[in-house]
Chain A
């Protein structure tokens, strides 16, 4: 296992800059997830780590070795691709042992290694088949097996689960997590699925337009996003951004929002609002913080109950999402399915702002940090 340091890496194609100075460093054995919308540069960064693309500037270190200009085969990295990229003309066993063969590992050792990996991934019965004869989930396992066989310093996963159906995806997600816990390997994992990111990562790097927007643990990113983009990207349904006016109240500062009637809610860090008195900002509030009135929370600090106008309800089984509109912004509330919210009617909701965050409306940055 080895640590990974990405030091001010830039990548240009002609005039366009795909990576604008990426700085990431993770410890040996850490599970790093790169998330971001398509075109954000996460795949380019992945390819740069693997050595499949040259970088224009900056350094990449694996352990203490500078590998910026090393060729892919000399970096000792294995990669699992979205399309699996299994060699169609080889059997599963040959696919798994190809990398060892290229590194001139003797035949007996190769066979033993195939054996070990096959057992670990429960694909022993598939070893003699060709990739075309496998199901999607089986191909996925073989692709992982091929990566595991070489015991490299680091694994790269490029959206490995996105070609699987929903049920299999959840299964494999758990399996990858178990493997990581068992083997303690360093993993860099690209995905656009934020649930995968939350469940698997030790640390998440949220990327956009060739820049890392935020690097942190899943919980940090969820609770404490640095800007509107990160806040909106992580979490499903996304965080609500409610337009609110900063008002002065009893010598402190609070926020006024236009629910069914104008409602003033408190804010955890009132002093940070001082500079914005009288202006409109965006209040960031996760859907689970707007619920039906809950007796045990009644009267606590940062809890306010107000009426809202229900636009649509979306039952999801465990919860029901109630949609309302505050000024022009759509707001999701996560309610108990038993709560009798009906479209077109007004109903009471409890706003818990103890974990609320605030963003500048113009530049999207946090103002309460």
Chain B
């Protein structure tokens, strides 16, 4: 049987390689095809489509009357959008910083051969398994200006305690930060704990033999070697921040007024409920720009790093 097959090979044109038409050789490509098509259409095609829409005056339905950068001009003249952008700045900045700080701290603390480490880790991380909608619902009740934390503190004897951020347009964005940190900081902890466990133990022994204290070892040796983890955490957290939509929907619904809107909510509201498809598309493109600005350097360094291995 082998002889036949081999002869079939030699029967090919001597000049070049024979066209391999057997199904087996095409199998990998056939298998990948649905994903390739889906990715080209549903990721890149739709991105371009949205970009096109952002240059039209589409309102309730897509139309293809091009108006240049008008929608972007309108966008940046729109007070609600500017509030959403500045909210994203405050929310994103604080959310990332606090998550990183808490995450690193808890990871280092947990790395000290703690008894019941598994249980504690499980508790820190469980919010990550929950939907942002549930988180929002829970914190909406906790931060309730009359019945929530405020009432509890008054009952505990702090008569003058006031906590009404949820109804204060200037403070409501910090409520988003609190809820989001509660949900995601455990995840950062898990990332760093995994990183800490991956640090070469011989390097730590060497540092101890060199006379470094525990704190110095962490500061000078271990944490610097976790730079890639910092980088990953930073990218993932900023990604969560930019995409945040459900948390706002459940916790504040953008209110009071539109003081706690984020760009994702702005986009959804204009594209789907306020019949401003052109404006919504423009805001989506700005969001994409923000993500790419963070993502491209990250992917670049990741892929380059892989080539060095």
**Do A and B have CB atoms closer than 8 angstroms in the complex?**
yes
Q: B68 at the A/B interface (Cβ < 8 Å)?
A: no
Contact between B24 and A69 (Cβ–Cβ < 8 Å)?
no
B1-49 interface with A by 8 A CB criterion:
1-3, 5-10, 12, 17-18, 20, 22, 24-25
Q: A112 at the A/B interface (Cβ < 8 Å)?
A: no
Q: Per-position contact with B for A56-100: 1 when CB-CB < 8 Å, else 0?
A: 000000100111111100111000000000000000000000000
Bound CA span A54–B22, Å: 15
Contact between B2 and A69 (Cβ–Cβ < 8 Å)?
no
Bound CA span A153–B6, Å: 12
The interface centre, meaning the residue of B17, B18, B25 with most chain A CB atoms within 10 A of its CB, is: B17
Q: Please classify how large the interface on chain B is, using the bins under 10, 10 to 19, 20 to 34, 35 or more.
A: 10 to 19
The one of A54, A66, A153 that contacts B10, using a Cβ cutoff of 8 Å: A66
Contact between A65 and B6 (Cβ–Cβ < 8 Å)?
yes
A70/B17 contact (C-beta < 8 A), A65-B3, A75-B2 known: no
Contact between A67 and B6 (Cβ–Cβ < 8 Å)?
yes
Contact between A65 and B18 (Cβ–Cβ < 8 Å)?
no
- Chain B residues lying within 8 Å of A153, measured Cβ to Cβ, are 2
Using CB atoms, name the residue of chain A closest to B16: A57
Contact between B6 and A62 (Cβ–Cβ < 8 Å)?
yes
Bound CA span A69–B20, Å: 9
- Chain B residues lying within 8 Å of A70, measured Cβ to Cβ, are 5-6, 8-9
The one of B2, B6, B22, B24 that contacts A66, using a Cβ cutoff of 8 Å: B6
Bound CA span A54–B17, Å: 9
Contact between B9 and A68 (Cβ–Cβ < 8 Å)?
yes
Bound CA span A30–B187, Å: 61
Bound CA span A314–B7, Å: 58
Contact between B18 and A69 (Cβ–Cβ < 8 Å)?
yes
Instruction: Say how far B230's CB is from chain A's closest CB, in angstroms.
Output: 35
Instruction: Say how far B287's CB is from chain A's closest CB, in angstroms.
Output: 38
Bound CA span A70–B1, Å: 13
Contact between A71 and B12 (Cβ–Cβ < 8 Å)?
no
The one of B1, B3, B17 that contacts A69, using a Cβ cutoff of 8 Å: B17
A66/B17 contact (C-beta < 8 A), A71-B24, A74-B2, A75-B2 known: no
Bound CA span A62–B2, Å: 11
Q: Per-position contact with A for B267-283: 1 when CB-CB < 8 Å, else 0?
A: 00000000000000000
Using CB atoms, name the residue of chain B closest to A73: B5
Contact between A74 and B5 (Cβ–Cβ < 8 Å)?
yes
- Chain A residues lying within 8 Å of B18, measured Cβ to Cβ, are 69
Starting from the known contacts A66-B9, A153-B2, 17 additional A-B residue pairs (CB-CB under 8 Å) come to A54-B17, A65-B6, A65-B7, A65-B9, A66-B6, A66-B10, A67-B6, A67-B10, A68-B9, A68-B10, A69-B17, A70-B6, A70-B8, A71-B5, A71-B25, A74-B9, A103-B1
Can you report 29 A-B residue pairs in the complex whose CB atoms are below 8 A from each other?
A62-B6, A65-B6, A65-B9, A65-B10, A66-B6, A66-B9, A66-B10, A67-B9, A68-B9, A69-B9, A69-B17, A69-B18, A69-B20, A70-B5, A70-B8, A70-B9, A71-B5, A71-B22, A74-B2, A74-B5, A74-B6, A74-B8, A74-B9, A75-B2, A75-B6, A76-B2, A76-B6, A103-B1, A153-B2
Top-10 shortest CB links A-B: A74-B5, A66-B10, A70-B9, A65-B6, A76-B2, A69-B9, A67-B6, A70-B6, A69-B18, A69-B12
